[in-house]
């Protein structure tokens, strides 16, 4: 198995592969389904993944058949219920303009899109890329806390009137550097995430507890800051840690192959269960440092086992037991929706078999 001993080595490897993969991804044709319709009217409840699947063998080919480049994938454009997606069989493109129509200037009227999803503001009624209810709880809460982050995070040092647990409206006292931040999420370090390849500690899965807001900063001679519990998902206690509330913003979920070649392993299945099926969430041992970004699609494989070869050459004196390595078996797709430094979270899409810890997740072929 591969063993990346340093972050620098992983960055270097990603940089070397980026150009090669970009060229191959552009050259690889995106196959349309043999029974692809001429058009599809977008209705409420559709997802970009579902619409893509009506036309394409692989939904992650969506940007290529819209003629989108990497910058356009990141720009906020939308598809709404009531619009019609057309399949131009002559050009091998999808668009919102009927094939043969033009924009009045003699140019094909192809509208390039980069559908995104957010819960408020412009685009609220737009078609999301994946079922939003499946991932909404994971978009603004801390999921992974790095080892360094845990060591430096502010912590609840004491409670009002010696209480053991605190809920909404209670006062808590926090020790640590706030760095100008006034609103925090409270979490409790949970399951350690260990790299299946190297055994290295990647971080801790965070158990979300609620939010607190700064009431008064520590003054000279006082060691703690005073906070008030704003919301309580679970009871908070002394020793729980704080992380800044992330800003609200658009999150781009256009399905696309990763920009660099990714060869990852499934680290954990969210919720502590043994197997995951469709629409469940798993984490993998690759993140932003490896070139992963939101919207990247990976293919899931069961790692090929090494098994005994009963008909093989047993070698000298018949002592050595012959073995053969079986191929990795592809059985589904993983849609990456949240990326941290060394860990990413993905939504399991169509699968024919259950996902297990240690399974392979790699760039589409």
Examine the domain organization and report whether 148 and 226 are in the same domain. yes
Q: How many CA atoms lie within 13 A of 287 on its CB side?
A: 18
Examine the domain organization and report whether 354 and 266 are in the same domain. yes
Is 121 within the bounds of a domain? yes
Band of residue 165 on the pLDDT scale cut at 50, 70, 90: confident
Is 318 within the bounds of a domain? yes
Residue 330 belongs to domain with CATH number: 2.40.10.410
Examine the domain organization and report whether 330 and 287 are in the same domain. yes
Examine the domain organization and report whether 230 and 315 are in the same domain. no
Examine the domain organization and report whether 132 and 146 are in the same domain. no
Examine the domain organization and report whether 54 and 122 are in the same domain. yes
Query: Is 103 a residue whose pLDDT tops 60?
Result: no
Query: pLDDT per residue over 114-142, tens digit each?
Result: 444 333 344 567 888 787 777 877 877 77
Is 22 within the bounds of a domain? no
Q: How many CA atoms lie within 13 A of 224 on its CB side?
A: 14
Residue 12's CB is within 10 A of a number of other CB atoms, namely 12
Is 300 within the bounds of a domain? yes
Global pTM? 0.75
Pick the more confident residue, 21 or 113.
113
Last-in-domain residue among 136, 159, 186:
136
Is 17 within the bounds of a domain? no
Is 164 within the bounds of a domain? yes
Query: Is 351 a residue whose pLDDT tops 60?
Result: yes
Examine the domain organization and report whether 283 and 232 are in the same domain. no
Domain around 188: 141-244
| Buried-state track 159-177, b at ≥16 Cβ within 10 A, e below 16 | beeebeebeeebbbbbebe
Query: pLDDT per residue over 245-264, tens digit each?
Result: 877 655 556 788 898 999 99
Q: What does the pLDDT read at residue 25? A: 37
Stretch 150-162: mean pLDDT, rounded? 88
CB-CB contact of 160 with 172 (8 Å): yes
Last-in-domain residue among 90, 119, 136:
136
How would you class 197 by CB atoms within 10 Å of its CB: exposed for 0-12, middle for 13-18, buried for 19 or more?
Answer: middle
Examine the domain organization and report whether 117 and 170 are in the same domain. no
Stretch 348-360: mean pLDDT, rounded? 91
Rounded to the nearest 10°, the torsion over CA 274, 339, 135, 238 is 80
Last-in-domain residue among 218, 244, 270:
244
Pick the more confident residue, 346 or 249.
346
Examine the domain organization and report whether 130 and 146 are in the same domain. no
Is 11 within the bounds of a domain? no
Examine the domain organization and report whether 262 and 358 are in the same domain. yes
Examine the domain organization and report whether 267 and 217 are in the same domain. no
Is 250 within the bounds of a domain? no
Domain count, the chain: 3
Range with lowest mean pLDDT among 77-86, 108-117, 291-300: 108-117
Examine the domain organization and report whether 261 and 358 are in the same domain. yes
């Amino acid at each position: 198995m591969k063993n990346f001993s340093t972050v620098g080595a992983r960055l270097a490897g990603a940089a070397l592969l980026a150009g090669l993969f970009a060229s191959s991804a552009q050259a690889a044709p995106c196959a349309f389904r043999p029974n692809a319709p001429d058009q599809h009217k977008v209705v409420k409840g559709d997802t970009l993944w579902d619409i893509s699947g009506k036309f394409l063998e692989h939904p992650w080919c969506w940007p290529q058949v819209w003629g989108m480049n990497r910058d356009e994938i990141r720009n906020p454009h939308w598809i709404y219920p009531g619009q019609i997606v057309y399949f131009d069989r002559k050009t091998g493109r999808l668009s919102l303009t009927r094939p043969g129509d033009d924009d009045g200037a003699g140019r094909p009227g192809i509208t390039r899109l980069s559908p995104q999803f957010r819960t408020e503001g412009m685009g609220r009624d737009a078609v999301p890329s994946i079922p939003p209810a499946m991932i909404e709880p994971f978009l603004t809460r801390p999921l992974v806390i790095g080892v360094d982050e845990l060591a430096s995070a502010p912590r609840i040092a004491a409670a009002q009137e010696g209480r053991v647990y605190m809920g909404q409206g209670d006062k808590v006292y926090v020790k640590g550097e706030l760095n100008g931040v006034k609103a925090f999420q409270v979490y409790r370090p949970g399951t350690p995430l260990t790299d299946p390849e190297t055994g290295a500690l990647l971080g801790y899965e965070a158990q979300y507890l609620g939010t607190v807001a700064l009431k008064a900063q520590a003054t000279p001679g006082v060691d703690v800051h005073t906070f008030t519990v704003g919301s309580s998902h679970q009871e908070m206690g002394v020793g729980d840690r704080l992380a800044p509330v992330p800003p609200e913003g658009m999150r781009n979920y256009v399905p696309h192959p990763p920009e660099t070649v990714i060869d990852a392993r499934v680290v954990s299945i969210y919720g502590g269960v043994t197997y995951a099926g469709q629409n469940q969430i798993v984490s993998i041992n690759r993140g932003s440092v490896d070139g992963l970004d939101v919207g990247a699609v990976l293919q899931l494989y069961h790692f090929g086992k090494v098994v005994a070869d009963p008909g093989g050459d047993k070698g000298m004196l018949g002592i050595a037991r012959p073995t053969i390595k079986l191929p990795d078996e592809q059985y589904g797709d993983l849609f990456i929706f949240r990326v941290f430094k060394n860990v990413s979270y993905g939504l399991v899409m169509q699968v024919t078999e259950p996902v297990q810890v240690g399974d392979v997740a790699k760039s589409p072929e």
